[in-house]
Amino acid sequence: MTPSEIQLRVNGRPSRIDSVPTDERLLDTLRWRLGLKGTKEGCRTGMCGACTVLRDGRGTLSCLLLTHEADGASITTIEGIGSDPVGRRVLDAFDAAGALQCGYCTPGFVMALTGLLREGGRSTPVDEMLEDLGGNLCRCTGYATIVRAARSAREEGA
């Protein structure tokens, strides 16, 4: 495993990361090298959605993506989502719906929903959107407020 230099655009800013081992996951690069702790580590197997980020505008599980596979990509984390108009809408919808409890899963839900809405917008059927969010797990809310927030963010879109 030869370490390499990686170039990313993270939350709109260029980032050059040196000595990245070929087996390092993007989740670890974001959290430990770049200090972006909003991206949560849940299962490390792609089953919970807590680590979701946007890679070139699409929802991506950062625990399943090797950093070198993201070389040259634009990555948006929860720390940078507020400057994205769709992301801002999702954040506002989560706030208005009270779709928070412990907050651990919230960044992953916000990022996944932002990615879905950027791809399909209001044309995405609600049932399909909610099914796609089914890969994100929450232990606290019972999902009712998250579903309300998702529906609201979808309806508010142009």
Structure tokens at 133: 């969010």
* pLDDT value of position 139: 86
- Is 87 a residue whose pLDDT tops 70? yes
Q: Which residue has the higher pLDDT, 1 or 16?
A: 16
> What does the chain look like in DSSP terms, one character per residue?
---EEEEEEETTEEEEEEEE-TT-BHHHIIIIIS--TTS--S-SSSSS-TTEEEETTEEEETTSSBGGGGTT-EEE-GGGGGGSHHHHHHHHHHHHHT--SS-SSHHHHHHHHHHHHHHHGGGS-HHHHHHHGGGS--SSS-SHHHHHHHHHHHHH--
Question: pLDDT tens-digit profile of 41-78?
Answer: 999 999 999 999 999 999 999 999 999 999 999 999 99
What share of the chain has pLDDT > 90, as a percent? 76
Q: Within 13 Å of residue 142, how many CA atoms lie on the same side as its CB?
A: 2
The pTM of this model reads: 0.93
Q: Is residue 13 pLDDT above 80, yes or no?
A: yes
pLDDT for residue 3:
75
Report pLDDT for 85.
Answer: 94
Judged against a pLDDT cut of 60, whether residue 93 lies above it is answered with: yes
pLDDT at residue 1 is higher than 80 = no
| Res 32: pLDDT | 97
What pLDDT does residue 38 have?
96
**Which residues contact residue 103 at a Cβ distance below 8 angstroms, ignoring those fewer than 6 apart?**
none
Distance of alpha carbon 112 from alpha carbon 52, whole angstroms: 6
Domains of the chain: 4-80 (3.10.20.30), 81-156 (1.10.150.120)
| 158: pLDDT strictly greater than 60 | no
